[in-house]
Homo-oligomer: A and B are copies of this chain.
Amino acid sequence: SLPLGIIAGPCQMESRDHALEMAAALKEISEKVGIGLVFKTSFDKANRTSISGKRGVGLKDAMPVFAEIRERYGLPVLTDVHEAGQCAPVAEVVDILQIPAFLCRQTDLLIAAARTGAVVNVKKGQFLAPWDMANVLTKVTESGNPNVLLTERGASFGYNTLVTDMRGLPIMAATGAPVIFDATHSVQQPGGKGTASGGQREFVPVLARAAVAIGIAGVFIETHDDPDNAPSDGPNMVPLGEMEALLTLLKRFDEVAKANPVALD
């Protein structure tokens, strides 16, 4: 297997300047650590807990920024799409189209994403079993696109809580698709703050090292230079200043893991 990669960036695109700064900082960190980086940020947070939650700069303003990040830093870019019609235009400026967990069974969205030819990263719904993702994967591959990533981001566990079932990582890997572990949203507490989701940032490194020890293609970690003042997912974003140490450690676990792949049978 290939060495661990990282998908990282701020939860939402707050402004062109902030996005560029974050991309530059992450590029520097990833090169220092020696780990492949995909830059992630969202142009629209389409399913905020509350109607008054900030949603990001929007598709129109985000598109030139995605293009600029790709060109300026040579970084592959990932962003999420919410309706079928967004897939084609967004695919012109990013490398990976991400299907949000709530939408992972929306057939039209999956097909539209597949048809762009871009890599499609599907997040596993909080309401699905790991083995259910085989059907989701087929919706994309049967639409002619073999480049699919599957992302674990926690399963519903009672109310306002998620749990990560680590068995899901090798189960999803058995489909043949590279598996990503989203350490940021796995520690989310959906709706846990009344009109916003809570989160447990302190468990991001805990779950990330566990997942990496099992052997995964990549880890997804949202990060911010000032998470406590970020407009969304602040409680579960890792401060930018901690990323280098975290990635360095994950790389060490990955080396042991990749030299000793899990065999389910």
Q: A residues engaging B (CB < 8 A)?
A: 46-51, 55, 82-84, 102-103, 105-108, 111, 125-129, 131-132, 135, 138-139, 142-143, 155-161, 163-167, 169-170, 187, 190-191, 195, 200, 202-203, 205-207, 209-214, 249, 252-253, 256-257, 260, 262, 264-265
Contacts and interface: CB of A to CB of B under 8 A. Distances in A.
A158 B131 CA distance: 13
B107 A48 contact: yes
Identical subunits present: 4
B166 A166 contact: yes
Nearest to A191: B132
In the A-B complex, the 9 residue pairs with the closest CB atoms? A158-B158, A213-B213, A129-B159, A210-B210, A156-B156, A47-B105, A132-B191, A126-B127, A51-B139
A248 B131 CA distance: 30
A105 B142 contact: no
Contact of A206 (B108, B142, B167, B265): B167
B205 A262 contact: yes
Given A84-B83, A128-B191, A135-B195, A106 B46 contact: yes
A50 B257 contact: no
A203 B167 CA distance: 7
Given A51-B138, A83-B108, A205-B262, 19 more contacts: A47-B107, A49-B132, A51-B111, A51-B142, A83-B83, A103-B103, A125-B127, A126-B126, A135-B195, A157-B158, A157-B159, A158-B161, A163-B165, A166-B206, A167-B206, A170-B203, A202-B264, A202-B265, A249-B260
